[in-house]
Structure 1
Amino acid sequence: MPLYLLHFAQAHNDFRLPELASVAELLGISYTLPEKDEDRDPTRPYMVVELETEEHAKMLARRCILIKAAYEFYAQGPSYEVLHEANRKCEPLWRKYVEDTSFKFLVTAYSHKIPMERQRDAIETFAYMGFLGKIDMKNPEITMVCFEEYKDRTQTPRQRNEGDGDFRQIFFGRLIEEGSARPLVRHFDVKKRLFYGNTSMEAEVSLLMANQSLASSPTFRYLANPGKLVYDPFMGTGSMAYPSAHFGAMVFGSDIDGRQMRGKQQTPGVVRAASQYGLASRIMDLAVFDITRNPLRCGELFDAILTDPPYGVRAGAKRLGRKKSLPEYKKELSRQHRLAPDPEDRPYIPPTKPYELSHLVTDLVLFARYVLKPGGRLVFFLPTVTDEYEEVDVQTMLCNGMEVIANSLQDFGSWGRRLVTIKKTTAEKYYPPTFEDREMVTKDEHVPAHKDFREKYFQGFRKVEIETPQVAFREG
């Protein structure tokens, strides 16, 4: 298959390949990554992939949030001599542009600024290509770009032009498509949104999650066609809803606390923010309930569940119930209070208790298996302690018929959050799950690193040593 050069944005390195795989599956695109681990390293800004057609490269650039641009690949090498030798061998690819095509040549670099004089010298080395068309720096018919890849030195102070020419690799190709999905990050910027809170997810990450879910139309918006149905069981201020709706999905959301979705105005805040983006018609409905006491009476409703469960740093997870059981007489008073009409017409707010994170995510996977259609995806964030995390932590939350598709880390140092994508791989129907309280841990049960994450976070992830009491024994 023909080769194409993908230029990635330098953000969320660990998310690049999972997003590429998801979007390719959504669009029905076949691709092949480089064989060498060095060439498929997701921390590098450039990657050469095999695609069937140029149109497929354009489609990926239009949909992948982390692709800045796609190029027809001509050559690469550790030096300009090697690059030019390889470029001469692929002359049939660029010969058709020589005679009468207006063009522009660019020489640029990653993690380095090339002096203008050396840029001109580098461009002159391509003189053998013999382009006869007009040089047009504003609206050329083709743009030829040469990339010098330097080691990442963004955090290293250095003198101007220091290390110039000490590049790792050079790539050369013709620009096919600039990434048109990247501007959506600014379009959905939380700071410009009419309704948001302290737990609102940043726009770039919510867009990535929407792509991971596959629950959207193949192009940006097919408003005339029925979209897939996405559900967010921890809706909050609706950060997950807007990208999914923009990509063509219908969105249903719920939360145990309706105030998070409503805000203080008569029109719910989630609906107001969706109206800002012209997406209010794609918000199907908002409901207030606890997923462990959900009113859903049948399964296989949704194409995807896309959510960011609360883990207690800025907002703690809650479920219905009390921390301590009430005595019988207080239970009776509470029951009478609920049944008696309130003279001030105040809504009844049921009591809640903390919902431990490790229990929450295990229940979320069970819940997803029940309400997802076969092949549907559950996409959510899981906070982890860097020094304690093990792969088995994610595996222990799975149940039959659910399989991990991707597990990408957003690293914050001592802790991070993992974007976990789980697919429903079974067509078997299941009864509605029951969510019992789980307090005791059996001796052989694995304790995941995300258990009691809130307490670990506020302790600074220090390991708490348990002192063994000193016991004195007498002889005899």
Structure 2
Amino acid sequence: MEYLIRFSQSHETFRLAEIQSLAIVEGIDLNVISYSEESPFCVVRLPSEDAAKALLKRSVLAQTIHEHWGTAENYDELHAIIKRDTAHLWPQYKDVSFKINIDTYQGSRPDKRKIELINSFAYLAFEGLILLKSPDQEFTIFEQWDFDAVPRNLPDPLRIYFGRLVGRSVREVIKTYDLKKRGYISTTSMDSELALVTANIALAAPGKIFYDPFVGTGSFPIACAHFGALGFGSDIDGRSVRGEGGKKSLKGNFQQYGLEKLLGDVFVCDLTNSPVRRARTFDGIVCDPPYGVREGLRVLGCKDPEQKDAWLVEKGKQLYRNPRFVPPKKPYSFMAMLDDILNFAADTLVDNGRLSFWMPTANDEEQEIPIPAHPCLELVVVCTQVFNKWSRRLITYRRLPEAEVDMSALSQRKQEEQQNGHTADDLNAFRRAYFKGFKSEKANPDVVN
């Protein structure tokens, strides 16, 4: 049976990825018939109405799903399709209460015209009560208008859909986790909508273990916990993990939402100096690594431990148990960080487990940072959030079973891995481009590297 999904018209490159991921979580056979990022309407084929309800029950970017009765470019054609293809369904709804809505995307209709359009479906011969609140069945006329249809005074929509409401999404949950209502956040806390979408695309679900190696104030583990996964996290900055204690802390955020039972643990470390065993235990890794813009990227360690920084090493050995001790840090390459994330995921994800991480890039093709690759990881989808001169991408990989890994490519990768550079700018091409306003160095010959 065909179903019509009504998406929110936001984060367009994420919408299909979320729905396809939810189909995997629910074990649903999903076939996308028509979809465009320019439209909030998507027609899919699903095995049953129960499957349609299950598909949307935890979606964040969709709004509703409807049994698809017809699509056409005008009302005469739509009525003909409905009469031809759905007459056998009408008797089921003859005596139940109902209502018919009109959803005019990018367009507008006066109330009088809306009533006329609703009455044009009188041939359905529904005899039940018309209830505007809580009817047994709800039908909707969806009109898709061209851009700026109202100021351009366009007479007709581009396309018309008609369907019976089957299920709703959980889009309202965005308000529950709104950062403005959260007790403890930082300047880099991921907003609730994208955190929840990331958890969905990474296949967070009950019985799964998820980990965020750049946990900060806990946005991603909280989102994963909302969908039933057990969340773990770590961060190089112990202050962000501990907060002020009580409600003003990462654990306090979990308590605020009643999710404390789904917080495994949080600890202080960086990805290159991690106590996490390299064992295939995580079902998912979700994170938003630091971009190194506000300050250069750092990892634990000393730039020159054998000479001027040697005393820091000895101090660390003596005082590492002191909660006030701040360990020394050294510069870290942005590109090396990406490689380390992929290596860590390859070592710790279960078969078919997912890595979903955010990565910045310039919008200019010449300055665009390439998507990193790893022989053990298959690229699943890339979703993009565009800003002014730069974008950030949510990149999702699937951990391949060992039998599918190209072992020769893996061996070659290990031989080629190395780190170069010394300063924050040398190590981070994105940071350098950010502070140059993403101006092409070819277009600015006076710029000295």
Give the TM-score, by structure 1 length: 0.85
- Structure 1 counterpart of 2:390: 415
Q: Give a deviation string over 1:302-329, Cα, whole Å, max 9, x none.
A: 111011001023465321234x42663x
Whether the 8 Å contact between 2:71 and 2:160 is mirrored in structure 1 is yes
Mapping 1:31-430, distance limit 5 Å: 31-34=30-33, 39-153=34-148, 159=151, 163-179=153-169, 181-217=170-206, 227-265=207-245, 269-314=249-294, 316-322=296-302, 324-325=303-304, 328=307, 330-338=308-316, 347-388=324-365, 393-394=370-371, 397-427=372-402
Q: Distance in 2 between matches of 1:383 and 1:336?
A: 37
Change in CA separation of 1:332 and 1:53 when aligned onto 2, cut-off 3 Å: closer
Whether the 8 Å contact between 2:213 and 2:287 is mirrored in structure 1 is yes
Larger displacement relative to structure 2 (268-277 or 420-429): 420-429
* Residue in structure 2 matching 1:439, options 410, 417, 420: 420
Change in CA separation of 1:336 and 1:65 when aligned onto 2, cut-off 3 Å: closer
Whether the 8 Å contact between 2:352 and 2:400 is mirrored in structure 1 is yes
Report how far residue 234 of structure 1 moved.
0.3
Report how far residue 209 of structure 1 moved.
0.5
Report how far residue 113 of structure 1 moved.
2.3
- Structure 2 counterpart of 1:21: 20
SS in 2 for 1:264: coil
Q: Distance in 1 between matches of 2:76 and 2:299?
A: 65
User: What is the count of residue pairs matched by the alignment?
Assistant: 435
Report how far residue 345 of structure 1 moved.
5.8
Whether the 8 Å contact between 1:356 and 1:452 is mirrored in structure 2 is no
Q: Distance in 1 between matches of 2:55 and 2:204?
A: 16
Whether the 8 Å contact between 1:292 and 1:434 is mirrored in structure 2 is no
Whether the 8 Å contact between 2:361 and 2:369 is mirrored in structure 1 is no
Q: Distance in 2 between matches of 1:251 and 1:361?
A: 22
Whether the 8 Å contact between 2:305 and 2:313 is mirrored in structure 1 is no
Change in CA separation of 1:114 and 1:327 when aligned onto 2, cut-off 3 Å: same
Q: Give a deviation string over 1:206-250, Cα, whole Å, max 9, x none.
A: 001100111313xxxxxxxxx211000000011101110111111
What RMSD in Å do the two structures reach over aligned CA positions? 2.8
Whether the 8 Å contact between 1:309 and 1:317 is mirrored in structure 2 is no
Whether the 8 Å contact between 1:150 and 1:168 is mirrored in structure 2 is yes
SS in 1 for 2:398: strand
- Structure 2 counterpart of 1:3: 2
Q: Distance in 1 between matches of 2:272 and 2:363?
A: 30
Q: Give a deviation string over 1:12-66, Cα, whole Å, max 9, x none.
A: 10011111111101100011112xxxx3213211111111001111111212111
Q: Give a deviation string over 1:371-427, Cα, whole Å, max 9, x none.
A: 111211100011111112699911xx2222111001111111321111100111023
Unaligned runs of 5+ in 2: none
Q: Distance in 1 between matches of 2:370 and 2:229?
A: 31
Change in CA separation of 1:339 and 1:15 when aligned onto 2, cut-off 3 Å: closer
Report how far residue 267 of structure 1 moved.
6.7
Whether the 8 Å contact between 1:196 and 1:237 is mirrored in structure 2 is yes
Q: Give a deviation string over 1:244-285, Cα, whole Å, max 9, x none.
A: 011111111001111111112257711101000000111111
Q: Distance in 2 between matches of 1:250 and 1:341?
A: 32
Change in CA separation of 1:268 and 1:285 when aligned onto 2, cut-off 3 Å: farther
Q: Give a deviation string over 1:125-181, Cα, whole Å, max 9, x none.
A: 11222211111111211111101101233xx9x64xx535321100001111122x1
Q: Distance in 2 between matches of 1:403 and 1:389?
A: 25
- Rg (Cα) greater in structure: 1
Unaligned runs of 5+ in 1: 218-226, 442-449, 470-476
The percentage of aligned residue pairs carrying the same residue is 34
Matched AA of 1:367 = F
Whether the 8 Å contact between 1:242 and 1:274 is mirrored in structure 2 is yes
Whether the 8 Å contact between 2:5 and 2:66 is mirrored in structure 1 is yes
Q: Distance in 1 between matches of 2:68 and 2:447?
A: 65
SS in 2 for 1:379: strand
Report how far residue 347 of structure 1 moved.
3.6
Give the TM-score, by structure 2 length: 0.90
Q: Distance in 1 between matches of 2:246 and 2:127?
A: 65
**Which of structure 1's runs of 4+ aligned residues deviate more than 6 A?**
389-392, 428-431, 433-436
Whether the 8 Å contact between 2:178 and 2:192 is mirrored in structure 1 is yes
Q: Distance in 2 between matches of 1:336 and 1:77?
A: 75
SS in 2 for 1:33: strand
